[in-house]
Structure formats: C-alpha cells, structure tokens
Amino acid sequence: MQKILELKDLKKYYPILGGVLRREVNTVKAVDGIDLDIYRGECLGVVGESGCGKTTAGKTIVRLHDPTKGKIYYYGKDSGRGGRVDIGSTKKSALKKLGIRGRLQMVFQDPTTSLNPRMLAKHIIGEPIKVQKRIGGKELEERVISLLEKVGMTRDHLLRYPHEFSGGQRQRIAVARAIATDPEFIVLDEPTSALDVSVQSQILNLLKLLQETLGLTYLFITHNLLVVKYISDRTAVMYLGKIVEIGGTEDLFCNPVHPYTYALLSGIPVPDVDFVKRRIVLSGDVPSPVDPPSGCRFHTRCSFVEAMCRDEEPRLVEIEKSHRVACHRRYEIDRLMKDRFGQK
Amino acid sequence: MATLLETVDLVTDFYTYEGVVKALNKISLVVDHGATFGLVGESGCGKSVTARSIMRIVQEPGRIERGKVIVYLDEKNRQAGVDLLQQSEAYMQAFRGDCISMIFQEPNAALNPIMSIGDQVCESFLFHQKREMCAKILEDLCAPECRTFYPLRKLQRAIYRMAVHAPDTLVLKILDRIPLMKLWQKRFKKEAKRRSIEIVGKLGIPNPRQIVEQYPHNLSGGMKQRIVIAMALACSPMLLIADEATSNLDVTIQAQILELLRQLRKEVISSILLITHDLGVVAETCDRVGVMYAGNLCEVADVKDLFSKPLHPYTKALLDAVPKFSMEGTLKSIEGNVPNLVTPPPGCRFHPRCPHAMGICRMEPPILTEVRNNHLTACHLIKSGKT
C-alpha cells in the first residue's frame, strides 16, 4: 500500500500565558508525540474521549495549526519516491503554490457554525474553487451544481442561506465544500455528532459512497465507536495526546489489548437487548493535559497498574501484524481480564 | 404494577411568528412505580417538551392546551390521583423538586456559574425541607448536651418552634429583616449544608467537603453532571426525569453516570423517566420504552419486545439506522427529513417517509392501540393486520 501521509513524533503544545508580562508559564500538551502512517484510499478512524487531542491532531495535519515539533510528510500522487513534502515546516505560501492546500481538506464538527450564515450555498461551495483554481462565472456555477448533485442535493438549493437548510443538508454542503478542490485526503472531524440517528446514517452512507467514487482517503475523528466500526478500515485509540492502540478495525474491536480500549468498548451502550457483556467502568476523569501523569498516562485509571507503569512510558509496539499497542502488560492482558471477569 | 404518572391526551402548542407549532399531539403515557421508562426519538420530536409539560415548565411562547397529567403518589390508593394541570402555581412550586424532579440537558447550562456548588445543592433543602430541618434543630437545641449560652438557646428554641409549626408566619418574615435577629437562620443553613455534603458524598464524588466550596468551572463535565443529579435527588423524589442526562458526556463518563442511575433506582428513587436519543442507552437501562416521532407517540412496549419485535415502521427504520456492534453491509437510512410541525402532514405524521404508506395513512391519524400483550402501537398497517 502506498503512503499518503506520515506523521513522525508530531507534537502540538498550546501555551498558557500568565504573570504581568504574559509570559508562557506552562503548556497544554494537546498532542504529545504521535507516529502514524496513513495509506492511500483507506479510512483511518481516530477515537478517544474529549480533550485527548483528536481534533488538534486533525487540524495540525492540514496545517490549520503549526506543529510544535515533529514532521508531517505528504507523499503526492505524481511525485515518486522521495518526493515528499513536510507540511509542518513548509511555508504556507509554498504549500499553496505546490497545490497541497487543495489536496488536504477538512469537514468540521458542527455544520451550523462552520458555514458562514451570510453566504449563499453557492458561494460557500464555490469559494475554495475560486481560491484554488481561479475559475469563475458559468464554469464555476456548473461545477458547484455538479458538486451539489454529488452530495445528493439539487440546483434548487443554490440560492439559499445556511439557516434555510436542515442539519443533515448543512453537513452535506460542508462535505461538498470539502470535495470542491478535488482533494486526496479529508479530515472529518466528528461529522455526524451534531446530527440525528436517521440523518447520521444518510451522511455516513454518503461519505462511504464518495470515498469509493472519488478515491479519497479519510481521517475520521469521532467519539462514537459504533460509527468508527461502521466506516473505518483501521482505528487508532488516543488517550491524553498519545496513541495507545492502533490496528485494523475488526481486529481492534474483537481483540482489544490496551485496558483503555477495553474500557471504551465496554462503555458503549449497545442497542441490542440480548447483548451481554463485561462492563468495565473506569473511575475518575481524564487527567489534565497540562501536567500529564508520569510513566504510562493511563496508570491513574487503569485496574492493572504495576510499579513499572508509573515510572516508564510504554512505547507503541507491534504485537500482531499491523496491530500496535502501548502497554507494558500487553502479553498478560488476556489472562488478567479472564481473572477479573471470568471467561468471555 | 401500580401507576405513578399518567398523561392523558397531552397537547402542547408553541405560538411562534411562523405559526402554531404543534409540538405535542395527544401524548398518553404511563410510568409505573419502580420502573424506568425511556422516551426516544430524534431531536425536535417533542421528548423534552413532554417532560417540561409534565413539570409544567413549558417556556413562552409554549402553552399546554389540553390533557391531564395525573400523579398517584400513594401506591395503593388509586383514587388519590392529582391532576397537575389543575393545580395552582404555589402547589407546583412545592411539588417540583420534592415529588418529581428533573435533570436538565446540559450540566454547564443547568448550574449557576456564580454560585458555589454547596449553595446550589442547598437550595432545594432550604425550600422543601424547611419543616423537617427545623424540627431536627429544635431537637438538638432541647437536648441536654447543647452548649449554647442559655438565654440565647431559649430564644432560638422559641423561634425554631415557631418555624416548625408555621414556617410562613409573618413574625418569621419580620425577624428575617431585623439585623441581628436574622442570624437565627445560621443553624438552619448549616444543617442544609451538612445535608448537601452528605448527598454529594453519596453520589460518589471524592472529598465532598472541598467540592461544596467550589464553583462549577472548577469541575469536569462528569462531575458537574453528578452535581446536577445530586440537586435533583436532594429531596428523594418519587420520579426523576432525566432529560438527555448523558448526551454530552464521553463514553467512559457516560458509563459511570448510567451505572449511578441504575444504582440509585435500586436504593433511593422509585421511577425514572429517561429521555434520550441514544437507543443504546435505552436498551441498557430502561424497562419500558416509548418511541416518539413529530409530536406523536408511535410505539410503547417493553424493552425486549421493542428491540426484538418492533412493529411501527418508524421504530424499525430507527433501529436499522444505528450502527451495531456486529454488523455487515450498509446502513439503512430513513429518507427525507423530520416534518415541520407548523404544518404537520395530515393523517399519520410519518407517512411521507414511510415505505408502507397506504391511502388511509394520508387521511386519518392512527390511534395508539394495544396490539400484543403490553405492546401499544399507532399504525394503520398493524391494525389492518398486514404485518
């Protein structure tokens, strides 16, 4: 498989200013060193609780934020081996000149706030085309209409303002805007969390269809695990700015290894009455990312802590093919779970 | 099981500029003693309005038009039902929070940012349990080990005796205005604070004594939700209405809160009316479920029945639209959008989106009828026996 993006030790710290001179007194470690390869044509799901750095990671990848440290390599379609560009350190004007801006797009969480209320639908969708491709007039309108049709809307919707649409239609417009510049990679930041169940399934199916027809690569950020299960090929679980487990979705959901993944999976309310499961209820909250715990970041809430977990930070280690986990007790976890909860 | 709450043909309208929004269209539901009733539906289907109509806190421009909300506080005496819609506002004030209380949607919006947690939890004690608390303080004052200065003790005893017998007398109101004299409330407030620390501690919050002094912004989302629950549970109500109590929380925190609610139902409160859009939450916590669509109740059944044998086409479609744990193939979705309730579709409100719509569906609204044992549904298709 061909890589499209490669993240190397990506870090994003937000400064906390304090004192009379507004100096930097501390930092919020939103993303604290993630290594990730994203392959062309896949859908990578990123899950985690709020405040774990999912959105920050997504925004840093498309360079809405500048990374504090680390590299984001982009491998273009036409550029062969070695033709990679570091998105993190290239100048923004250079990024635009290389045409990378248009290739990486993003769909935001809440369609009511991400669409400008004073712009018509046709201007919202047409804006990125105008900026990137420099076309206008009739041609632009034709393109906007074809985009609208791609996302299941009609030309009647061209001359309306965002408030005239329902939530689902608004999100469709946001998706149309994202695919306007023929991107290769789209960051979907909780695209369905503001929507209702019946509309959510419409949008998910639309996204799947678009991925097939346009050959897109997705980074799907969400906190809803069932949605990730449905849409993504691989899944990464984040906790406090770090990836704790990554693997094929099927594999991860059937054989989770990290205790946090276990807890997340067992926490999902399943719409099925006959489904019996072992529920692990984690105590406490996510610690503050300003001052993350030493050693393994999950040790304050983990049921299987050892002395080692408190002192040494676990690395992301491959335990099976393309299934990597950051846990000291990764080989014992199956036995520990059985001891605690009985057989599966 | 004995009925605790019953709504009969409840109709609530909102008079907006665009016209009359018919938010509730003859809702009739029954919540039993000791049961958890779940109300599910998409946003804008009238779940929250139902809860607010029961509590009689529908905001302007809304108005409860017709119907009854009957509460049977006594489990045995079926005649002693109280129709809340006929009662005075003063009665309702004493009733809310004491017999029925509510957890609001968003903990950030439900808590007052400029009052400390302790003061907010105290409020319901100060309002509803004035008499019980005064009686307790009086008992303490009369006890031989009381160490207050004797003449002062005598005065306090007299005041508290008055408060126990008639908490609303003019004398007490005047006393509250006189500078030094109003200090009689000090003991009373102290007692309320003690009780609030107790209830906050009961909900599994570590070191309640410190938390009570803090303000909402000091706490995390899950903690705030616990505080809101503590406020609702302060006077151990008969019925707790949880309006999207877990919607804005993370999965792990949601699991904590649901566990807490389940535990509380065993120990403290008798019934819960759980309002949610998450079918998973319903499947895990409720005994009985009502499915709402566009202001109508379209199906009411026991949880097991509803998830295994749903009857109404909307319920079926809703269940198919949720991603499941073990699932193959593509998700089915419901075409179209929720109708505008200013001009709801005639007949069955679901017919424009229903795959099985017939001629009669466009003309006549279906009535909620019992199809199977304890399984009610409002659909012409079921009634005509074409399932």
pLDDT tens, residue by residue, B326-355? 766 777 888 777 888 888 888 888 888 888
Interchain contact A252–B (C-beta under 8 A): no
Give CA–CA dist B118/B303, Å, rounded: 38
Binding-face residues of A in 106-145 toward B, CB within 8 A: none
| Beta-strand relationship, B3-16 and A242-248 | unpaired
Residue A60 exposure: Cα atoms within 13 Å on the Cβ side: 30
Give CA–CA dist B102/B275, Å, rounded: 11
Please tell me what DSSP assigns to residue B270.
S
Give CA–CA dist B375/A13, Å, rounded: 55
Give, in order, the Cα–Cα distances in Å from A147 to each of A7, A153, A158, A290.
31, 9, 11, 43
Which chain A residues are within 8 Å of B327, Cβ to Cβ?
229-230
User: Given CA atoms B129, B134, B140, B142 in this order, what sign does their dihedral have?
Assistant: negative
How near does any CA of chain A get to the CA of B122, in Å?
A: 25
CB contact under 8 A, A205 and B330: yes
- Phi-psi category of residue A19: left, alpha or beta, with phi > 0 → left and psi -120 to 50 → alpha: left
Pick A268's closest partner by Cβ from B42, B251, B308. B251
| Predicted pLDDT at B275 | 92
Give CA–CA dist A196/B207, Å, rounded: 38
CB A247 within 8 Å of CB A324? yes
| Predicted pLDDT at B302 | 92
Q: How far is CA B85 from the centre of its chain?
A: 16
| Predicted pLDDT at A245 | 93
Buried b (16+ CB within 10 A) or exposed e, B123-155: bbbbbbbbeebbbbbbeebeeeeeeeeeeeeee
Tokens of residue B219, six digits = 């706490």
How near does any CA of chain B get to the CA of A94, in Å?
A: 39
Interchain contact B324–A (C-beta under 8 A): yes
In chain A, where the domains are located: 256-341
Chain A residue closest in CA terms to B317 = A198
Chain B residue closest in CA terms to A49 = B250
How near does any CA of chain B get to the CA of A210, in Å?
A: 14
Q: Which amino acid is at A119?
A: M
Of A48-52, A186-190, B287-291, B383-387, least confident by mean pLDDT is: B383-387
What pairs with residue B292 in β-bridges? Answer: B297
CB contact under 8 A, B317 and A230: no
Give CA–CA dist B40/B43, Å, rounded: 9
Residue with tokens 């039902």: B81
Which chain B residues are within 8 Å of A273, Cβ to Cβ?
283, 303-304, 307-308
Residue with tokens 């004398």: B171
CB contact under 8 A, A273 and B251: no
Q: Sheet containing B288-293: give its strands across.
A: B100-103, B239-243, B271-276, B36-40, B288-293, B296-302, B375-377, B369-372
CB contact under 8 A, B284 and A199: no
Give CA–CA dist A143/B45, Å, rounded: 37
Binding-face residues of A in 35-94 toward B, CB within 8 A: 49-50
How near does any CA of chain B get to the CA of A247, in Å?
A: 17
H or E element in which residue B71 lies: strand B62-71
Interchain contact A20–B (C-beta under 8 A): no
Pick B304's closest partner by Cβ from A208, A273, A279. A273
Which chain B residues are within 8 Å of A285, Cβ to Cβ?
220, 222-223, 253
pLDDT tens per residue across span B33-81:
888 999 998 888 888 899 999 999 988 888 898 888 998 877 776 677 8
Chain A residue closest in CA terms to B40 = A197
| Beta-strand relationship, B288-293 and B296-302 | antiparallel
Cα dihedral A162→A164→A166→A168 (10° resolution): -40
Interchain contact B222–A (C-beta under 8 A): yes
CB contact under 8 A, B334 and A198: yes
CB contact under 8 A, B42 and A274: no
Q: Which amino acid is at B56?
A: R
Q: How far is CA A252 from the centre of its chain?
A: 17
| Beta-strand relationship, A84-86 and A23-39 | unpaired
User: Given CA atoms A291, A295, A296, A302 in this order, what sign does their dihedral have?
Assistant: negative
**End-to-end C-alpha distance for chain A, whole angstroms:** 35
Q: How many residues does chain B have?
A: 387
| Predicted pLDDT at B1 | 67
Residue B84 exposure: Cα atoms within 13 Å on the Cβ side: 26
Q: Sheet containing A43-47: give its strands across.
A: A104-107, A185-189, A217-221, A43-47, A234-239, A242-248, A323-325, A317-320
Burial (CB count <10 Å: 0-12, 13-18, 19+), residue B366: buried
Please determine, for residue A188, whether its predicted confidence score (pLDDT) is greater than 90. Answer: yes
Pick B283's closest partner by Cβ from A168, A225, A272. A272
Pick A205's closest partner by Cβ from B324, B325, B331. B331
pLDDT-derived band at A342 (thresholds 50, 70, 90) equals low
Give CA–CA dist A133/A99, Å, rounded: 10
Phi, psi of B274 (to 5 degrees): -100, 120
Give CA–CA dist B87/B94, Å, rounded: 11
Give CA–CA dist A179/A118, Å, rounded: 21
| Predicted pLDDT at A278 | 66
Q: Which of A272, A286, A290, A300 to mutate to test the interface with B (most CBs of B within 10 A)?
A: A272
Please tell me what DSSP assigns to residue B379.
-
Please tell me what DSSP assigns to residue B177.
T
User: Given CA atoms B194, B195, B201, B206 in this order, what sign does their dihedral have?
Assistant: negative
Give CA–CA dist B135/A336, Å, rounded: 54
Tokens of residue A233, six digits = 């090929």
CB A120 within 8 Å of CB A144? no
| Predicted pLDDT at A100 | 86
Of A174-178, A214-218, A236-240, B251-255, least confident by mean pLDDT is: B251-255
Interchain contact B260–A (C-beta under 8 A): no
| Predicted pLDDT at A82 | 55
What parts of chain B have a pLDDT lower than 50? 386-387
pLDDT-derived band at A147 (thresholds 50, 70, 90) equals very high
Pick B279's closest partner by Cβ from A201, A253, A271. A271
How near does any CA of chain A get to the CA of B205, in Å?
A: 9
Interchain contact A212–B (C-beta under 8 A): no
Give mean pLDDT, residues A269-292. 76
Interchain contact A276–B (C-beta under 8 A): no
CB contact under 8 A, B331 and A201: yes
How near does any CA of chain A get to the CA of B29, in Å?
A: 22
CB contact under 8 A, A49 and B253: yes
How near does any CA of chain A get to the CA of B42, in Å?
A: 6
Which chain B residues are within 8 Å of A235, Cβ to Cβ?
none
Please give the biggest Cα pair distance in chain A.
69
Tokens of residue B41, six digits = 């539906």
CB B108 within 8 Å of CB B216? yes
CB contact under 8 A, B303 and A208: no
ipTM of the complex: 0.79
Give CA–CA dist B43/B55, Å, rounded: 20
3-state SS record for chain A: CCEEEEEEEEEEEEEEEECCCCEEEEEEEEEEEEEEEEECCCEEEEECCCCCCHHHHHHHHCCCCCCCEEEEEEECCCCCCCCEEECCCCCHHHHHHCCHHHHEEEECCCHHHHCCCCCCHHHHHHHHHHHHHCCCHHHHHHHHHHHHHHCCCCHHHCCCCHHHCCHHHHHHHHHHHHHHHCCCEEEEECCCCCCCHHHHHHHHHHHHHHHHHHCCEEEEECCCHHHHHHHCCEEEEEECCEEEEEEEHHHHHHCCCCHHHHHHHHHCCCCCCCCCCCCCCCCCCCCCCCCCCCCCCCCCCCCCCCHHHHHCCCCCEEEECCEEECCCCCCCHHHHHHHHHCCC
Interchain contact A333–B (C-beta under 8 A): no
- Computed on alpha carbons and rounded to an integer, the radius of gyration of chain B in Å comes to 24
Q: How far is CA B315 from the centre of its chain?
A: 23
CB A178 within 8 Å of CB A106? yes
Which chain A residues are within 8 Å of B223, Cβ to Cβ?
285
By C-alpha distance, which of A254, A262, A301 is closest to A278? A262
| Predicted pLDDT at B174 | 87
| Predicted pLDDT at B340 | 83
CB contact under 8 A, B332 and A253: no
What pairs with residue B291 in β-bridges? Answer: B40, B299
Interchain contact A268–B (C-beta under 8 A): yes
Interchain contact A275–B (C-beta under 8 A): yes
Give CA–CA dist A328/A193, Å, rounded: 33
> How much is the mean pLDDT over chain A?
87
Pick B255's closest partner by Cβ from A205, A223, A279. A279
Q: How far is CA B1 from the centre of its chain?
A: 20
Interchain contact A266–B (C-beta under 8 A): yes
How near does any CA of chain B get to the CA of A153, in Å?
A: 12
CB contact under 8 A, B254 and A269: yes
Pick B323's closest partner by Cβ from A226, A267, A279. A226
Residue B110 exposure: Cα atoms within 13 Å on the Cβ side: 23
